[in-house]
Amino acid sequence: MNLHTCLRQAEADLIRAQVETPSQTARWLWLCATGVQTHEMLMALGNEAKPDDMSAFARLVQRRCAREPLQYITQQADFCGLTFYVDERVLIPRPETELAVQTTLAQIRRQKSAGKRGVRIVDVGTGSGAIAIAVAVALDKEGDRTTAIVGVDISAAALEVAKQNAQRHGVADRVRFGLGDYLTDYDAGRFGSIDIVVSNPPYIPEGQREWLQPEVARFEPPQALFAGADGLDAYRAIIRQATVLIATDGSLVFEVGAGQAGAVRDLLGAFVDRARVSVLADGRGIDRVVAAELGSEFIANG
Ligand SMILES: C[S@@+](CC[C@H](N)C(=O)[O-])C[C@H]1O[C@@H](n2cnc3c(N)ncnc32)[C@H](O)[C@@H]1O
């Protein structure tokens, strides 16, 4: 069978499995199965496909037809212009999370321009390390060597992936990773108070499990997704813990699910008085990040 027919058959299987962008997906899977470059594949469309390549390709097509995410099959995901290693141990980093990275960088600049040296950041629920590592890479490019970054996760398996990604992007020396239940194990006596807490925590309400796409529900780690009946349990825990660990002029940066910004803003209001809270929308106009600047006069109610 020639390569063109082979791709068309795979495309038909992917359409039957209701996979999005079936034609493009078939091509990506061929590249992944054979390791050839796009131009080599295009030049070979009329050639007979090798049996070994065809069986490797068929295995990948079968996995995608079972709705395994493409990123787990190819073991890579693009985020903030960087390619992260991913597998089923971690949530696949999403484009909308780039806003949390940009907001964190803006908060670092704000604190530094107010005279702070040595800003300390904790990325709570770091997963693949996406936020912590993207921030570290951006700071390296700016020549900032003083900001300290820690990524925390409750999953030891996720932290192995995060460490691998930190190595891959040359920031293993400046991002440290620790196992912990949100901020409960953060040792402020040893490390000092936190200047910025950033988190893209689990935020899907338990009841929405059955409405999720199969890619998410069947393959992504449940502890990365669900956070109680209203999806707000993680925010409650992190905000409560953060108020006693954060510097008086610190910042909190949360990614929120669609429709959750108001509730998270209210939660912040219940725990901290006199914080400046802003809500930022992502590229699709969805309120996606809630950020609180505490200011020196903030009062913790926690
Ligand atoms: C939505 S994922 C975010 C992963 C990554 N930060 C990103 O943006 O792609 C949430 C992460 O929080 C972690 N997590 C869940 N419960 C936790 C807890 N109690 N303490 C620390 N991390 C937790 C999960 O293991 C998962 O890696």
For 86-104, give the secondary structure using H, E and C.
CCCCCCCCCHHHHHHHHHH
Question: For residue 269, what pLDDT is reported?
Answer: 86
pLDDT of res. 231: 98
- The pTM of the full predicted model, rounded to 2 decimals, is 0.95
pLDDT recorded at residue 188 = 85
Question: Would you say the CB of residue 223 lies under 6 angstroms from ligand 1?
Answer: yes
What is the residue type of 118?
G
Mutation test residue for ligand 1: of 92, 121, 123, 126, the one with most atoms within 8 Å of CB: 126
Tens of pLDDT along 234-247? 999 999 999 899 99
| pLDDT of residue 34 exceeding 60 | yes
Read off the pLDDT of residues 91-149 as tens digits, 9 standing for 90 and up.
999 999 999 999 999 999 999 999 998 999 999 999 999 999 999 999 999 999 999 99
123 CA distance to ligand 1 middle (Å): 9
CB 111 less than 6 A from any atom of ligand 1 = no
| 272-273 and 120-124 beta bridge pairing | unpaired
Whole-number pLDDT of residue 301: 55
Alpha-carbon distance of 117 to 104, in angstroms, equals 16
Instruction: Check pocket membership of 236 for ligand 1, CB cut-off 6 A.
Output: no
Domain spans of the chain, in order of start: 3-66, 77-300
**pLDDT tens digits for range 257-281:** 999 999 999 999 887 777 889 999 9
Classify residue 36 by burial, with Cβ atoms within 10 Å: 0-12, 13-18, 19+.
Answer: middle
Q: Is the pLDDT of residue 302 over 50?
A: no
Q: How many helices (H) and strands (E) does the chain have?
A: 12, 11
191: pLDDT confidence band, cut at 50, 70 and 90? confident
**Pocket lining: 25 vs ligand 1, CB cutoff 6 Å:** no
Write the pLDDT tens digit of every residue in 137-172. 999 999 999 999 999 999 999 999 999 999 999 999
**pLDDT > 90: percent of the chain:** 89
Q: Which atom of ligand 1 is nearest to the CA of 97?
A: 8
| 111 touches 78 (CB < 8 A) | no
pLDDT at 24 over 90: yes
Specify the range with the lowest mean pLDDT, choosing from 21-30, 46-55, 267-276, 277-286: 267-276
CATH of 77-300 given 3.40.50.10860, 3.40.1390.10, 3.40.50.150, 1.20.140.10: 3.40.50.150
- Distance (Å) from CA 158 to ligand 1 centroid: 9
Query: What is the rounded average pLDDT for all residues in the chain?
Result: 95
Residue 155 identity: S
Q: How far apart (Å, rounded) are the C-alpha atoms in residues 291 and 196?
A: 10
CA of 32 to the centre of ligand 1 (A): 28
Atom of ligand 1 nearest to the CA of 90: 27
For ligand 1, atom 26, the nearest C-alpha belongs to 224
Structure tokens at 224: 């990365």
Contact residues for 124 (Cβ-Cβ < 8 A; gap 6+): 152, 182, 183, 197, 198, 199, 201, 238
Return the closest-CA partner of residue 4 out of 48, 40, 36: 48
pLDDT of residue 296: 54
Q: How far apart are the first and last CA of the chain?
A: 67
Q: Using the predicted structure, report yes or no on whether residue 300 has a pLDDT greater than 90.
A: no
Mean pLDDT for 7-31 is 97
Distance from the CA of 199 to the center of ligand 1, in angstroms? 8
pLDDT at residue 274 in the model: 73
Q: Decide whether any atom of ligand 1 lies within 6 Å of the 91 Cβ.
A: yes
Residue whose CB lies within 8 A of the most ligand 1 atoms, among 98, 121, 155, 203, for a mutation test? 155
Whether ligand 1 lies within 6 angstroms of the CB of 202 is answered as yes
Q: Which atom of ligand 1 is nearest to the CA of 155?
A: 25
Distance of CA 168 to the CA centre of its chain: 16
What's the gap in Å between 153 CA and the centre of ligand 1?
Answer: 6
